[in-house]
Amino acid sequence: MKVLVLTMKKRYDRFAPKDSAAYQAAELIFCDRDDSEEDWLAAGGDAEAIFVTPVTWVRESLMERMPNLKMIHSEGVGFDRIDLEAARRRGIYVCNNAGCNAGPVAEQAVMLMSMLLHRILWGHRMVLSGHQGEAVREIEGNVPLDLAAAKVGLVGFGAIGQETAARLRPNGTEVYYYARHRKDEETEKRLGVTYLPLEELTARCDIVSLHLPATAESTHMVDRDFLARMKPGAFLVNTARGAIIDDEALCEAICSGHLAGAGLDAYAPEPVPADHPLVKLAQECPDRLILCPHQAGITLTSFHNVYRMLFENLGKLMAGERPDRVVNGL
């Protein structure tokens, strides 16, 4: 089976499961994700599957010129740049690797929470400028919360949200969550979490952490009204998708002092430009914004999971079976 791969070959050389029958049987055609559709079609227009990074657009114009295409598979969790409806109309499965990076992303979310609470960027800057003693006196005079004393609200409670809750539990953190569908009592008890309606969660928690996919429903969900409901002095953490946040509204909430700060690992658009409002604000308020380059899921554990899951699904397709983690309703 021919697979058009719109990413780096060296990652497959390193991480693909070499003992997988699907890997051994597949003909992988590699193209740069920044090449044109014409380049992709010239190299692999007759492919039956596409493997693509979550930040690469896969439009209807490409699908309609690939007559053999049966599956488009995101290498990550995100799939918002794939035209789901166009694929569904053509009977093309769109799949993702839900859960592949849940542990590492949860680890970074908790790290950002702790850095914000402990004012790590500010402390680092104070030490570099020769003001360690002044920094200690400031902290002693304004003792911050830690994870054991903080109330954390998780918005979205899929694999990453649940892994985040699991990593907060040993700290004794009081954890709340909101999701469209409440989890069963056993799951809530196992993870030590309490369900709250969204409005109540935002008002109660010292940290609100986002764990949602980017959909039409979630786009700019974190708007001025959402931020105004948040507890004064609270922090926002986003390791999900940048489109969930209205960036201008977030900048206003931080500049006004309503929010104490934010830790972010996703932006809209990406790559984030140097004149983006959040980048400019981080330069003006260097102690209140932590900006990461959308790196949380880029770890050894994640990559081993990614390529195992990709070729497991390719094997199902080769066998004429429905693949797992189909996201476009087929």
How do the domains of the chain map onto residue ranges?
2-100+299-318, 102-291
SS (H, E, C) 29-75: EECCCCCCHHHHHHHHCCCCEEEECCCCCECHHHHCCCCCCCEEEEC
> What is d(CA 166, CA 210) in angstroms, rounded to the nearest whole number?
15
Catalytic-residue membership of 294: yes
Residue 50: both structure tokens together: 């596409």
CATH 3.90.650.10 for domain 2-100+299-318: no
102-291 to CATH, choices 2.40.160.100, 3.40.50.720, 3.40.250.10, 3.40.718.10 = 3.40.50.720
Confidence of residue 313 (pLDDT cuts 50, 70, 90): very high
Q: Do domains 2-100+299-318 and 102-291 have the same CATH topology?
A: yes
Q: What is the average pLDDT across 4-17?
A: 95
**What pLDDT digit, counting tens, does each position of 152-185 carry?**
999 999 999 999 999 999 999 999 999 999 999 9
Percent above pLDDT 90 for the chain: 96
**Neighbouring-strand partners of residue 2:** 27
Q: Which of 73, 119, 211, 241 is an active site residue?
A: 241
Residue type, 316: K
Identify the three-state secondary structure at position 107: helix
DSSP string, 253-301: HHHTTSEEEEEES--SSSSPPTT-HHHHHHHHSTTTEEE--S-TT-SHH
> What is d(CA 196, CA 314) in angstroms, rounded to the nearest whole number?
39
Confidence of residue 214 (pLDDT cuts 50, 70, 90): confident
**What pLDDT digit, counting tens, does each position of 279-298 carry?**
999 999 999 999 999 999 99
Q: What is the average pLDDT across 198-227?
A: 95
Phi/psi for 321 (5° steps) reads -100, 160
Write down the pLDDT at residue 77: 87
Share the mean pLDDT of the chain.
96
> What is d(CA 49, CA 246) in angstroms, rounded to the nearest whole number?
35
pTM of this prediction exceeds 0.75: yes
CA-based end-to-end distance of the chain: 21
Write down the pLDDT at residue 215: 86
**What pLDDT digit, counting tens, does each position of 31-69 carry?**
999 999 999 999 999 999 999 998 899 999 999 999 999
The DSSP code for 245 is B
Q: Which of 188, 252, 270, 312 is an active site residue?
A: 270
Burial of 54 from C-beta contacts in 10 A (0-12 / 13-18 / 19+): buried
Identify the three-state secondary structure at position 5: strand
Is a pLDDT exceeding 90 seen at residue 72? yes
Is a pLDDT exceeding 90 seen at residue 216? no
